[in-house]
Amino acid sequence: MQLHFLPGQGRIVALLDNSIISLWEVLDKGGQSELTHIQDFTLPCQPGALPSVSRPTALCVSATGDKLYIGSEAGSVHVLQLSSSKFDDVLSQEGALQSLPEEYRVGKALGAVEAIREDPCTSTSILMGYTRGLLLLWDLNRRCLQRCLPGTQQLESVHWSRSGQQVTCSYSDGSYQEWSLDDSEEQKVPSLLYGPYPCKAITKIQRFITSGCTFVVFSGGMPRASFGDRHCVTVMHEREHVAFDFTSRVVDFFTVSGAKPGTVLDEPKVLVVLVEEELVAIDLMAPGWPSLTPPYLASLHSSAITCSHHVSAIPSKLWERIVACGVQQKEKHSSAEWPINGGVIKSQQRTSRDLLLTGHEDGSVRFWDASGVALQPLYKLSTASVFVTEADQPEPIQETDEGHWPPFRKVGCFDPYSDDPRLGIQKISLCKFSGQLALAGSAGQVLLMELNDEATEHEIDTYTMDLLEENETFRWKGHDRLIVRSGSVPLPAGFQPQLVVQAMPPASLTALALQAEWHLLAFGTSHGFALFDCHQRKPVLTKCTLHPNDALALEGPLSRVKSLKKSLRQSFRRMRKSRTTARKRPDPTTKVREANARLSEQDLPSEVELAPVQRRVEARSPDDSFTGMVKCLYFADTFLRDGSHHGPSLWAGTNAGVVYAYSLEIPTPEHRNEQTIHARFGKEIQLMHRAPVLALAVLDGKSSPLPEPLEVLHDLAKSPDLHGHHSLLIVSEEQFKIFMLPKVNSKHKFKLTATEGSRVRKASLVWLGTPGGNLAGTSGIVTGNDEAVETCLICLTNQGDVHGYSLPSLRLQARFSCMRKEDVTGISSCVFTHTGQGFYLISPSQFERFSVSAASITELLCSLQPREPEAIHAFPIPEYSPTVNKVTPEDAVETKKRGRVMENALLTDSRVLEEIQETLNPSLLTKVDIDMNQNH
Amino acid sequence: MAKNHRGHARHGSDIEVKSKFGAEFRRFSILRAKPGRFDEFYQLVQHVHRVPTSELIVGYADVHGDLLPINNDDNFLKAVSTAAPLLRVIVQRKEDADYNAFGTNSTLRKRKGLTGFPGLLKTHERPRPTRDISLPQDFRPVSSIIDVDILPETVRRVKLYKQGSDRPLGFYIRDGTSLRVTPRGIEKAPAVFISRLVPGGLAESTGLIAVNDEVLEVNGIEVAGKTLDQVTDMMVANSRNLIITVRPVNQRVGGGSGTLTTAAAAVTTTTTMTTQSTNGLLLPGPPEPGSYVIGNFTDGDSEAESDDDVIIEGGAGSLAERITAEDSERARPNGEAWLHSASDQGLWSSEQALNGSTRSESEQQRAEATANATTYGGHQRHSMEEDGTVITL
């Protein structure tokens, strides 16, 4: 529930919700730092005492870092000597009450200890704030009451200024009050900033005295009726007054101070706010208070991730251009340096430039630098501007918001409410050599983008391809197609759409392939697939794969989602909010509810007995739904028609276990402009087990996969062996099969599902081995070949296991359990890299990275020397206030440092790193809790 | 003609054959050392009885007096080797064949009836009303209990032949717990059970699987430790040739003594009439290489049979050929004889001239079945099929 740092010691004190105070330390283990659990404390209490006696509510670490003041719910304050792990002093509430002057002692208890502060100058006294509003300044040496500040409202938070002269406290009615300690008689009335109507509590306040003026920063306090659902942090300084409006609940905030030790005046530089979904830093030094771009911990899921795509070894030129476009996008942001730094990264320098592209529900694609440990945002591409959407109409409500009271300003990029679900990106294909990017969306739209360093404005060509081949008997009941904006569309620098192809019916795209060398684009939906010539801008082929009885395929998957209009979304927003505004302390009713829940869980098995889950056992039939769905598309230069002539071909695999192959006649470059491309039907393979075809690949005569388009042209791959027999690898959900080409006779097969009951969810060909030529035979997939790099097939099953198979013999080489089989989104979000690594979403906002290759590991190795003075300096320790969850800069480093070796132990030496932002929300604390329980 | 043969019958190295067709007898002899093949013998029988075009059913009386069929090389050789000295052959027209006659004591009964005790005929079963029932060859197996000799009595291994049938498998499975006897006593363990049989489905029609039977294995792989979904997926993946080992509901630990009798035979096959069986055809000759296409009588659990992926080749025009990949892999010796044409078909029929008509009919049947198995929506291809490795469309 709270995290506190012991300055300069590399230690953390965590208050857990089971009333345990737990001490953690960053220890050096083999050259790298790890966060280790040291010790647990509980408040001492008499046997039979009320539980409130031992329930800590407020923590405060002394400036020296050796003492911990712990306030309890019963109102007493304990002092814990961290060096000796002993409680050496107690100030009970009775004692406090007795020392009170008569006029404050009205016979009632003071309530729980809400806040404890140590005197910032002398460290000889502490300030204790009680729920009822009373603040006591207690002299530790003389053990007597120094001062009493009689607050009247329910206390939320206390801040003691750097000079030690001012105390600011905030109350649950949305007001705050300033006390001056030097002039004992002066007492300011509480000010209700956003009044006069009832306001929500100010959960945390900080007030800094800078040269000349004050800086007030607080969270909450919004008028309850009109803006009670906003998540705001208000900053006031001189005349500037901004209420930063976040899209998710504010967990905590702190300011990074630039003040030198020993000075009296404060100098807040950066405000760092942790909201539930992201971490936002705001530059308080720059005019207008712009936000900072975080170098890590960027919000992955600003809009829900719908797909991801990994491209390794990006050519440096393309990389630089993408980075340059990203820099242009960040112009509005502050140029200030990221204020939170520390520790040493010991990981190897990156060996290649890898991109992870994430497609989002709002039609945007984010480019992440996936070469290192932390995913760094490089560039964001939005396709929404290409289409006419509902969001184009200006929102009147938004405009009234601006310029009114309170002075809201939207910050942060988390916006889960997509305006038009049709914009969602379903498939991404990037050609790293040509810089062409193909995107396929939820409403049949396929965009071909090209990188342009300049902003332009041009019309976007649109083509429509009917995948039903004008079959009149089908009627599409799903959503409408997206309308491409007519006329010139202003396009910012970066990837700009060259053309848009619309599949009709506008179903969600299920497969996409871009062949930049031949300038061909293939895409598929649940109805069929199509081939488009990007050079001549002409449709080449459409093929309907729909089974006549498949009624379900005619309904768009979004048909229901579409009816969610904006008003509805607003009300959801409100509902969500009311759920998240949880009370600060668990009250007895929740306990009862939990107990009931536990009881009902125990009842559950008997209910299961009554109505057991049944599964139908039936052979796959061509009448099943979505059999026509195209699952994969693949271009290959191979022997489709006979064994002596190879040529371009297009392959498509469907949900019903059918593979179609077309041979393509592509004119020579000289005639590319005039002659049209012809696609001729080549082969159709019906797999008898009818399981969905997940991947197709052609292996050359040496059984290595054909290189990517343009790869050979750029001298980055050997040209394929065109003399030996090519073979076709078909990966279905149930089996792997290798057929010889062109005769399609089966050569090798492996029946996965029939033998062990797991089904393939994702499959990819990976290149394993070390670049230096030394084989990594210690673990992972043993590469027993002369060549340093060997290809193998890795797949992820629905049981969450990763298997590796040799090619072409399809023998199981290694298997690792990787994810929980219940983690359906994790399994469906998994992408493999060419080097045997993989990414999957462990939560909507977090990717977990793993590796099956011993040679290619991205590992977080870092160290922290906490006791060095520089290190202390590198972590500007903010002033603590025991409110809800604490965040400090070190925290971020710590969490990253924990690095969480993948819980299900993929490989002994492949560590899986939790990067990404947002690890500090309450989920961290639950994890701490879990770890702790394991330790005991 | 018969006289000619009679002359040779005295030779010790020969076997005297007495062939009876209706009321007619023909006698001839064949070399004991070199009896030849069944189709030659069949041709000979057709020839001696002067019914070269009729389809015949050939049987012989063995030493026990049982009437046993001669319809392939093996049982022909058996018949020859056991003949001492006379081989009594009984020939019937296929259309009026009495199949009940085959079996134990059949010839004795028959002989009694024929050898002048007409009064006794009444005490035996009267001639049954002739039913149109075909030979086992015309049946398609639906299910069988296998491995009875190696499995404990309380366990039953059932094979369901889904292949070639348009009937759904038709059963559901569920999670449950079963009692197991372990060294530590009786323990509860999670298990998978049959939860429902769909009326009219394959599973129900066999009568070998019942609701609440515990599923122990799927195609030889133990189910213990696997989730319901995994077991479902395994069954679906093996659906074309599904072998389930069950502990029948009345065979559980502590249950009754059980109804399953220990059959001496390793395989007890229950069969029902196939819907596709076109005519009552006796196919002489060895089992055909292409039979898996229709799954006509697939025996054994060879892996290959569940695997015949169909490949449609885009030809020069709209003509496409259909090849079964497994087959081409298995049977084609040189890998070159690939595109057979009409002349190849001619070759086939000349090789198999003895049973040309049979052949063509079986081909037709197979073509139908393949067409059934490989019909896709929207594909209206004129299909014609060839036997063996190549199917041309």
Tell me the pLDDT band of A907, cut-offs 50, 70 and 90. very low
Instruction: Write the ipTM.
Output: 0.74
Whether A865 shows a pLDDT value over 90: the answer reads no
CA distance A418 to A304: 9
Give per-residue burial for A708-737: e unless 16+ CB within 10 Å, then b. bbbbbeeeeeeebeeeebbbbbbbbbbbbb
Q: Which residue among A549, A617, A683 sits closest to B312, beta carbon to beta carbon?
A: A683
Judge residue A929's burial from the number of C-beta atoms within 10 Å of its C-beta, 0-12 exposed, 13-18 middle, 19 or more buried.
middle
The amino acid at residue A801 is: D
- Verify whether the Cβ–Cβ distance A658 to B376 is below 8 Å: yes
| Cα A755 from Cα A749, distance rounded (Å) | 13
pLDDT of residue B36: 83
Residue A97's H or E segment, with its range, is helix A93-98
Distance separating alpha carbons of residues A830 and A308, to the nearest angstrom: 8
Is B347 within 8 Å of B359 (Cβ atoms)? Answer: no
Collapsing DSSP to helix, strand or coil, A617 comes out as strand
| H helix intervals, A190-256 | 224-227
Q: Does A613 touch chain B (CB under 8 A)?
A: yes
Contact at CB, A749 and B307, closer than 8 angstroms: yes
Q: Which two tokens stand for residue B48?
A: 């001696």
Q: Which residue of A547, A735, A755 is in closest CB contact with B377?
A: A547
Is A678 an 8 Å CB contact of chain B?
no
Higher confidence at residue A372 or residue A245?
A245
pLDDT digits (tens, 9 = 90+) for A125-183: 888 888 888 888 888 888 778 888 887 788 888 888 887 788 888 988 888 888 887 76
Q: Are A75 and A109 in contact, with CB atoms under 8 Å apart?
A: yes
Rg, C-alpha atoms of chain B: 26
Paired strand residues for B172:
A616, B196
Q: Is the pLDDT of residue A524 over 60?
A: yes
Tens-digit pLDDT profile for residues A85-141: 788 777 777 777 777 776 666 556 778 888 888 888 777 888 888 888 888 888 888
Query: For residue A10, how many other CB atoms are within 10 A of its CB?
Result: 25
Cis peptide upstream of residue A667 (ω within 30 degrees of 0): no
| % of chain B exceeding 90 in pLDDT | 11
CA A214 to chain centre: 36
Please, how many CA atoms are within 13 Å of residue A642, restricted to the half-sphere of its CB? 7
Is residue A848's pLDDT more than 80?
yes
Residue type, A283: D
What's the pLDDT at A785?
42
Q: Please report the pLDDT score of residue B353 as a whole number.
A: 37
pLDDT on residue B167: 81
Interface of A with B in 474-513 (CB under 8 A): none
Residues 720-749 of A with CB under 8 A from B: 734-735, 737, 739, 743-747, 749
CB–CB of B176 and A747 under 8 A? no
**pLDDT reading at B214 higher than 50:** yes
Q: Which residues pair with A310 in a beta bridge?
A: A356
Residues A580-591 have a mean pLDDT of 44
pLDDT at A184: 59
Weakest-pLDDT range from A364-378, A627-641, A828-842, B96-110? B96-110
B/e letters for B181-204, b = 16+ CB within 10 Å, e = fewer, are eeeeeeeeeebbbbbbbbeebbbb
d(CA A227, CA A221): 10
Burial B219-251 (b: 16+ CB within 10 A, else e): bebebeebbbbbbbbbbbbbbbbbbbbbbbeeb
Query: Chain A residue closest to B326 (CA)?
Result: A746
Q: How far apart are CA A36 and CA A894, in angstroms?
A: 11
The answer, yes or no, to whether the previous bond of B168 is cis (omega within 30 of 0) is no
- Is A620's Cβ below 8 Å from some Cβ in B? yes
A382-391, A458-467, A906-915: segment of lowest average pLDDT: A906-915
State the Cα–Cα distance between residues A352 and A56, nearest whole angstrom. 50
Q: Which of A548, A737, A757 is closest, CB to CB, to B230?
A: A757
pLDDT value at residue A174 = 87
Q: DSSP alpha helices (H): ranges in chain B? A: 2-8, 38-48, 73-82, 106-114, 118-123, 202-206, 228-237, 325-331, 342-351, 356-373
Look at residue B265 in the predicted model and tell me its pLDDT: 33
A849 contacts A833 by C-beta, under 8 angstroms: no
- Residues A160-185: b if buried by 16+ CB within 10 A, e if exposed: bbbeebbbbbbbbbbbbbbbebeeee
**Whether A686 contacts chain B with CB within 8 A:** yes
- Tokens 């520790």 identify what position? A343
> Closest partner residue to B236 among A620, A622, A821, by Cβ?
A620
- Greater model confidence, A345 or B106: A345
A852, pLDDT greater than 60 = yes
pLDDT (average), residues B157-185? 84
Q: Is A658 on the interface with B (CB under 8 A)?
A: yes
The CA distance from A544 to the nearest CA of chain B, in Å, is 9
Q: Which sign does the torsion angle of CA A833, A835, A836, A840 carry?
A: negative
Per-residue pLDDT at A508? 92
- pLDDT value of position B252: 53
Higher pLDDT, B31 or A921: B31
Res A284: pLDDT: 87
The reported pLDDT for the residue numbered A601 is: 52
Judge whether residue A530 has pLDDT over 50.
yes
pLDDT exceeds 90 at position A209: no
Note the pLDDT of residue B277.
Answer: 33
| pLDDT, average across residues A401-423 | 75
What is the C-alpha to C-alpha distance for residues A580 and B232, in angstroms, rounded to an integer?
Answer: 40
Look up residue A7 and give its DSSP letter. Answer: T
The residue type at A159? H
What is the average pLDDT across A670-696? 91
The two three-digit tokens of residue A579, written as one number: 């759920």
* Three-state secondary-structure class, residue A930: helix
Distance in angstroms (rounded) separating the CA atoms of residues B6 and B228: 71
CB distance A457 to A489 below 8 Å: yes
Chain B contact for A147 (CB, 8 A cutoff): no
Beta bridge partners of A568: none
The 10s digit of each residue's pLDDT in B96-107 is 766 655 654 444
**pLDDT score of B290:** 28
The rounded mean pLDDT for chain B is 64
* Average pLDDT of every residue of chain A: 78
Q: Tokens representing A936?
A: 């005991």
Statement: residue A347 has pLDDT above 80: no
Q: What sign has the CA pseudo-torsion A144, A147, A150, A153? A: negative
pLDDT score of A552: 63
Distance CA B22, CA A739 (A): 56
Q: How confident is the model at residue A11 (pLDDT cuts 50, 70, 90)?
A: confident
pLDDT tier, B120 (very low <50, low <70, confident <90, very high otherwise): very low
Which residues in A411-518 belong to E strands, given as ranges? 425-431, 436-441, 445-452, 456-458, 461-466, 483-484, 489-491, 494-504, 511-515
Q: Which helix (H) or strand (E) holds B247?
A: strand B242-247
Residue A199 is given by DSSP the state B
For residue B245, give the nearest of B229, B255, B234 by alpha carbon: B234
Alpha helices by DSSP H, listed for B70-196, are 73-82, 106-114, 118-123
- Residue A533, class by beta-carbon neighbours within 10 Å (0-12 exposed, 13-18 middle, 19+ buried)? buried
What confidence score (pLDDT) does residue B32 get?
80
Would you state the pLDDT for residue A487? 86
User: Does the structure show a pLDDT above 80 at A472?
Assistant: no
Phi-psi region of A289 (alpha: psi -120 to 50; beta: other; left: phi over 0): left
pLDDT bracket for residue B273 (50, 70, 90)? very low
| Cβ-based contacts of A629 with chain B (< 8 Å) | none
Chain B within 8 Å of A551 (Cβ-Cβ)?
Answer: no
A–B CB contacts, 8 A cutoff, strictly below: 145
Q: What is the DSSP letter of A277?
A: S
Residue B62 amino acid letter: D
Residue whose entry in the numeric block shows the structure tokens 């065979």: B251
- Which residue, among B347, B351, B387, has the nearest Cα to B367 in the 3D structure? B387
What pLDDT band is residue A742 in, cutting at 50, 70 and 90?
A: confident
- Pairing of the two strands B86-93 and B14-21: parallel
* Mean pLDDT in residue range A404-417: 79
- The segment with the largest mean pLDDT, out of A863-867, B25-29, B172-176, B352-356, is B172-176
High-pLDDT (> 70) share of chain A, %? 79
Q: Of A383-392, B298-307, B312-321, which has the strongest mean pLDDT?
A: A383-392
More confident residue, B306 or A391: A391
CA A472 → CA A443, A466, A540, B375, distances in Å?
A: 20, 11, 21, 22
For residues A916 and A903, give the distance between their C-alpha atoms in angstroms, rounded to a whole number.
Answer: 17
Count other Cβ atoms within 10 Å, centred on residue B340: 18
- Residue A120 tokens read as 């910032």
Residue A355's pLDDT is what? 92
Sequence-ordered list of residues with C-beta below 8 angstroms from that of A621, at least 6 positions apart, any chain: A690
Name which residue leads in pLDDT, A379 or B254: A379
pLDDT at site B77 = 85
> In this predicted structure, what is the pLDDT of residue A288?
84
Per-residue DSSP letter, A356: E
